[in-house]
Amino acid sequence: MARPIIAIVGRPNVGKSTIFNRMIGDRLAIVEDRPGVTRDRLYGIGEWLDKEYSVIDTGGIELDGDNEILRSMRVQAELAIEEADVIVFMVDAKAGITPADEEVAQLLFRSNKPVVLAVNKVDNFKRQDEIYEFYSLGFGDPIPISGSHGIGIGDLLEACAVHFPEDKEEEYGEEVIKVALIGRPNVGKSSLVNAILGEERVIVSSEAGTTRDAIDTPFERDGQKYVIIDTAGMRKKGKVYENIEKYSVMRALKAIERADVVLMVINGEEGIIDQDKHIAGYAHDAGKAAIFVVNKWDVVEKDDKTLHQFTQKIRDHFLFMSYAPLVFVSAKTHQRVNKILPVVDQVAEQHAMRIKTNVLNDVVSDAITFNPPPTDKGRRLRINYATQVTVKPPAFAFFVNDPELMHFSYERFLENKIRAAFGFEGTPIRIFTRKKSGDE
């Protein structure tokens, strides 16, 4: 089920990035006391009362001026508002209401989205009286908070949670493989959907951003049921939108969360850029099965080394996804498109595979015998046993004498041995270390 989405919106320099960090319990956002430091949307995941949510930190909205960065920041904020289930409108208690705040308020009124008004920099009880003027903005009770001191964050999240949409049961059965196509604009995702389906089901254009909404397309092939989730593109509202590629990330996140298998589509003609790595990283972090689909391979000038060289480039750029298979295709000519679904079937099966505990421990025991755990300050890691705790993605708990003795390099060694024994092609693996009860 998709997480509810909170967008933090406000004029520059009201402390949005600090609150974002508080809401996700991490320091992902750049925090600097200078307007315009947060130039792109940032995304994080937090939890409140056992309910996970996504948070978007936007660049500040600057409503006047022709500066390209400021206009781009406004666009990013508008796109975040469009994706959000609830908006946190942040203002500054010390500055009071500014004309820019009033203009942001008008923008939010037009969005018709639930808005929670947060008054930042209320650092102590003496400043509580400073929140009352903000009632005039028309968003109900202002919530006093302090990002620097962590005051009022619980109250803010509680107010947001009131507007979280109810969980909806997934409309597709367990037997259906849900496939999400993700990738930056103009890599040919919609053309690829049509090629897989063998019919024109999705609008195709050479312009980036013609897919306006996430489109679910159920179909069946050789007795297996699928749903293809084609991630949405931007709503074109002027030239500035055409210059921004990050618009697709939140919709890609929504599609990734619903998917069993993610097709990471790369433009073979243009090669790999940083945004490809960002988007693929979301699929990896979400624990989804993944396949790299290199599209437009028909227009790539090739010799007998091109395929190997491009494969190596992907492996070098995506070291964290070495498990993901590659398929080189052309949506335009349908070259090798018929190879995609068999690979989808394979990685979906691996993603859901469960290993019996006794068989797993035989492999772990052999691995330990071959390469005993190293010592740390005279102490050696002792692995008592391992068991698989979940699937999608496969996750394994290792019960040990001291979890701190599990070095990441030895954890990677164990993962490699598990993959060598059982496959797990196309799926990330999670390994957790737990202290064995009563073990000192």
Does 409 carry a binding-site annotation?
no
Position 281 scores a pLDDT of: 85
Look at residue 391 and give its three-state secondary structure. coil
Does 44 carry a binding-site annotation?
no
Fold topology of 357-435: GMP Synthetase; Chain A, domain 3 (3.30.300)
Q: How is residue 88 annotated by DSSP?
A: E
Rounded Cα–Cα distance for residues 214 and 228 (Å): 10
CA distances for 218 relative to 1, 172, 193, 225, angstroms: 18, 9, 11, 7
* C-alpha atoms less than 13 angstroms from C-alpha of 363 in its C-beta half-sphere: 21
- pTM to 2 decimal places: 0.68
Does 120 carry a binding-site annotation?
yes
Does 59 carry a binding-site annotation?
yes
List the one residue out of 428, 393, 430, 352 whose CA is nearest residue 176: 352
- β strands within 143-192, DSSP E: 143-144, 177-182
Does 438 carry a binding-site annotation?
no
Q: Residue ranges per domain, the chain?
A: 5-161, 177-349, 357-435
Fold equal for 5-161 and 177-349: yes
Walk along the chain (440 residues) in steps of 10 and give the mean pLDDT of each run. 81 84 66 40 74 76 56 64 87 90 87 92 79 92 90 92 78 88 81 81 44 65 88 42 47 80 92 81 90 93 91 92 95 93 97 97 96 86 94 95 91 95 96 76
- Looking at the domain covering 5-161, what would its CATH class be? alpha beta
Does 295 carry a binding-site annotation?
yes
Residue whose structure tokens are 């925090």: 31
Position 82 scores a pLDDT of: 78
The partner residues of 42 in beta bridges, in order of sequence, read 57
In terms of Cβ atoms closer than 10 Å to its own Cβ (0-12, 13-18, 19+), residue 167 is: exposed
- For 12-67, where are the alpha helices, taking DSSP H only? 16-24
Which pairs with CB-CB distance under 8 Å and at least 24 residues apart come from 204-210? 208/233, 208/234, 208/242, 208/245, 209/185, 209/233, 209/234, 209/235, 209/236, 209/241, 209/242, 209/247
Position 401 scores a pLDDT of: 92
The CATH number of domain 177-349 is 3.40.50.300: yes
Does 10 carry a binding-site annotation?
yes
Pairing of strands 143-144, 86-92: unpaired
Does 58 carry a binding-site annotation?
yes
Does 428 carry a binding-site annotation?
no
Does 48 carry a binding-site annotation?
no
Does 183 carry a binding-site annotation?
yes
Position 254 scores a pLDDT of: 73
Position 42 scores a pLDDT of: 63
Does 46 carry a binding-site annotation?
no
